Amino acid sequence: MTIIPDTLALIGNTPLVRLAGPSAAAGAEIFGKCEFVNPGASVKDRAALFIVRDAEERGLLQPGGTIVEGTAGNTGIGLALVANAKGYRTIIVMPETQSREKTDTLRALGAELVLVPAAPFSSPCHFVHQSRRIAEETPGAVWANQFDNVANRRAHVVGTAEEIWTQMDGRIDGFTCAVGTGGTLAGVGLGLKAKDDRVTIALTDPDGAALYDYYAHGELKSEGSSVAEGIGQGRITGNLEGAPVDTQFRVSDAEGWKWVRRLLSEEGLCLGLSAGINVAGAIRLARELGSGSRVATVLCDTGFRYLSTLHNPEWRVARGLPA
């Protein structure tokens, strides 16, 4: 064991765990990157750190400045932690539909939280557009712009992908995850393809998102809906441009919840719905690749962030999920 030199160095270098139940179900080896080990308990800490460093290097963020972002929660939490460590303020704009745990966490971290009604991206009231306007109107502020700022995916090209490659001794056949900003899928995909172009990169899309049809048929088209927070995208973001997507899957909330429940009851992992959807996608990819294949995915965040929602039986029943 070595001593970590500073708190920001705690971000990344997360463990990779073999998932027994999913591996048995796939007849293959399924591995989960434990991103809940990050200080902010999610994969978004990586993007937050790279976005802030990029703004500093370009001279956009000065001492005592403010970071503004529109987020479903986890990126805001990561930004608030990084900002605290570096002496910046944060203003976070978030849809009011997100879990109470996220809003409580952001306030506890000292972020100024602006909750707005959920709105489609085409509306000027969408949380992303509102965050951009706040950044433009706030002296000394920068807009993190996680969806189109490619510092996001660079965090995964040089960080997450390198870690997975090393942890799996270069023996990896496939990688998959869902998309919110696209940074994780595109960044890990680019990083792994640079090591071995034969690695299959797959999108795992929740119901209600448009990317499955885009990669399958060339058309942005959504079907159904999902209660998963932080994933599901209706456009090609800056981070997704040029993403090396080889194949795609669509996973329902019910299928994702099945794996959240099994991983909790059988393996002692408390995860969110996005992680369950990712695991379901990894199983499908492994089955396509064949017996004995080795597939990695991302366990995006902790289920403790969804105690009032996903892990609340009454909430699930009201949304058509098993109690």
CB 191 within 8 A of CB 158: yes
Q: Give which of 113, 117, 109, 146 is closest to 233, Cα–Cα.
A: 146
In sequence order, the 6+-apart residues with CB closer than 8 A to the CB of 108 are: none
CA R_g for the chain? 18
CB 34 within 8 A of CB 268: no
Q: How far apart are CA 17 and CA 24, in angstroms?
A: 14
Structure tokens at 318: 């009201």
Q: How far apart are CA 111 and CA 48, in angstroms?
A: 14
Geometric angle at alpha carbon 100, from 86 and 226, rounded to 5°: 105
Whether 44 is catalytic is yes
DSSP assignment, residue 175? E
Q: Which of 44, 102, 195, 221 is catalytic?
A: 44
CB 220 within 8 A of CB 210: yes
Provide the annotated active-site residues. Answer: 44
